[in-house]
Amino acid sequence: MATYGRFPIELVRGRGVWVWDSTGKRYLDCVAGIAVCTLGHSSRALRRGLTDQLRKLQHVSNLYRIPEQERLAAWITANSCADKVFFCNSGAEANEAAIKLARKHGHAVRGIENPVILTAQASFHGRTLAAVTATGQPKYHEGFEPMVQGFRYFPYNDTAAFEALLAECEAEGPRVAAVLLEPLQGEGGVNPGNPAFFKRVRELCSERSILLIFDEVQVGVGRSGCLWGYQKLGVEPDALTLAKGLGGGVPIGALAVKATADQLRAGEHASTFGGNPLSCRAGLVVAEELARRNLPAHAEAMGVLLQNQLADLATRHPELAEGARGWGLLQGLVLQPGGPSAIEVVKAAMAEGLLLVPAGAQVVRFVPPLTIKPRHIREAIRRLERALLACRTTTPSAT
């Protein structure tokens, strides 16, 4: 089906931060499957781990205990604020599970007949019907109405607006079951969370027994420079959703919850493929490599270098770019209004052998493998600069 606007290249193999297309052209990959290939392409550790697992079992279903699943859950809970984990196959599914959890919490804990979940404008939580309703961007809703009931939106990082909406919703008694937020908005423009805002949201949720859920699908698993994005904010959620980088390229998602938020009971939620031996073995390999290679700290250091290089690029070409923002290896170059769009820059960069991804209309996003090295970042900036200059010569509004 024609659900994707694909670029006209066919990628056939990869190694580390490099990929090759069917013509033999090599690209420096700063997309990594959209923040998925944590260990880079064709990781030796993943090849060994998955080959070993395929000699044993790839799938048995959750009718039975799965040792790899239990080990991965133990790693997540030992290294986060969570106590329990539900495994699924994607970020959208993890957020669907979180939405069901929120509604169960609203009914069982707050006694709400029709629970409401508050989410941020410019957010992105997935493409399933409930997850896309939670997404605070009307363009993703168009053509799929009526949306799922029970969602309200407020401007991201705006404490006053959040407090006003919460007061409006609760004017006649408990109505809000949960607040669902990204610690850093990725798809919405690479917008980092404000610690003061998140601290206030945490206080208000705690006062009212409202669940605070963090969508860490893109920012989690070391990409922020910490293992989890919430650590950048100094605030712990009641639950967090994971996917993308957790499996290093093998599909896996997870909803991790504190014991106090563990409301789902046997038979209330399930997944045929969720947490199968193969996907969980991939997650275990990623976990082992994160620790062995200290990849969160490496991502922090490389993120500082990348952000500085992007800022320098914007200083050299102020007519094209405003600056850079982000955490760790989730960085965005903010383009000037009236200049080339993000998609135009991405296409020009592709011609230069650099893969990037838009984050909205005027932000170009970098989400490379966490294994990227300084020489790769400097090469990416050189190629990006050539792409920007090519856009300047072809975009009348930018000249």
* Whether residue 300 is found in the same domain as residue 208: no
Instruction: Domain count for the chain, please give it.
Output: 2
What is the mean predicted confidence (pLDDT) over 283-296? 98
Taking a C-beta distance cutoff of 8 angstroms, is the pair 174, 180 a contact? no
* Whether residue 185 is found in the same domain as residue 319: no
Please report the pLDDT score of residue 392 as a whole number. Answer: 82
What is the mean predicted confidence (pLDDT) over 155-176? 97
Residue 397: pLDDT above 60?
A: no
Q: How much is the mean pLDDT over the chain?
A: 97
Q: Give the Cα separation of 311 and 314 in Å (integer).
A: 5
Residue 43: pLDDT above 80?
A: yes
What is the mean predicted confidence (pLDDT) over 354-367? 97
Q: Which of 292, 312, 336 is the last residue of a domain?
A: 292
Q: Could you tell me what percent of the chain has a pLDDT over 90?
A: 98
Q: Give the Cα separation of 254 and 25 in Å (integer).
A: 36
Q: Give the residue numbers spanning the domain of 326.
A: 11-30+294-398
pLDDT band at 395 (very low <50, low <70, confident <90, very high): low
Residue 396: pLDDT above 80?
A: no
DSSP notation for 261-322: G----TTSS--SSTT-HHHHHHHHHHHHHHHHTTHHHHHHHHHHHHHHHHHHHHHH-TTTEE
* Whether residue 125 is found in the same domain as residue 244: yes
- Just list the catalytic residues: 124, 215, 244
* pLDDT tens track for 121-134: 999 999 999 999 99
* Whether residue 19 is found in the same domain as residue 155: no
* Whether residue 286 is found in the same domain as residue 299: no
* pLDDT tens track for 180-216: 999 999 999 999 999 999 999 999 999 999 999 999 9
Residue 398: pLDDT above 80?
A: no
What is the mean predicted confidence (pLDDT) over 257-279? 97
Residue 394: pLDDT above 80?
A: no
Q: For the range 259-267, what are the long-range contacts, defined as Cβ-Cβ under 8 Å and sequence gap of 24 or more?
A: 259/83, 259/84, 261/101, 261/105, 261/211, 262/83, 262/84, 263/101, 263/104, 263/105, 263/108, 263/109, 264/86, 264/97, 264/100, 264/101, 264/104
Q: Which of 292, 325, 349 is the last residue of a domain?
A: 292
What is the mean predicted confidence (pLDDT) over 363-381? 98
* Whether residue 183 is found in the same domain as residue 310: no
Please report the pLDDT score of residue 399 as a whole number. Answer: 36
* Whether residue 178 is found in the same domain as residue 52: yes
In the numeric block, the tokens 């922090």 are attached to 300
* Whether residue 217 is found in the same domain as residue 365: no
* Whether residue 322 is found in the same domain as residue 278: no
The CATH number linked to 202 is 3.40.640.10
* pTM (2 d.p.): 0.96
What is the mean predicted confidence (pLDDT) over 9-17? 98
pLDDT band at 393 (very low <50, low <70, confident <90, very high): confident
pLDDT band at 300 (very low <50, low <70, confident <90, very high): very high
Q: Give the Cα separation of 334 and 341 in Å (integer).
A: 10
* Whether residue 181 is found in the same domain as residue 248: yes
Torsion over CA: 91, 130, 262, 235 (sign): positive
* Whether residue 310 is found in the same domain as residue 354: yes
Whether 184 is covered by a domain: the verdict is yes
* pLDDT tens track for 234-263: 999 999 999 999 999 999 999 999 999 999
Q: Which of 292, 324, 345 is the last residue of a domain?
A: 292
Taking a C-beta distance cutoff of 8 angstroms, is the pair 253, 361 a contact? no
The CATH number linked to 361 is 3.90.1150.10
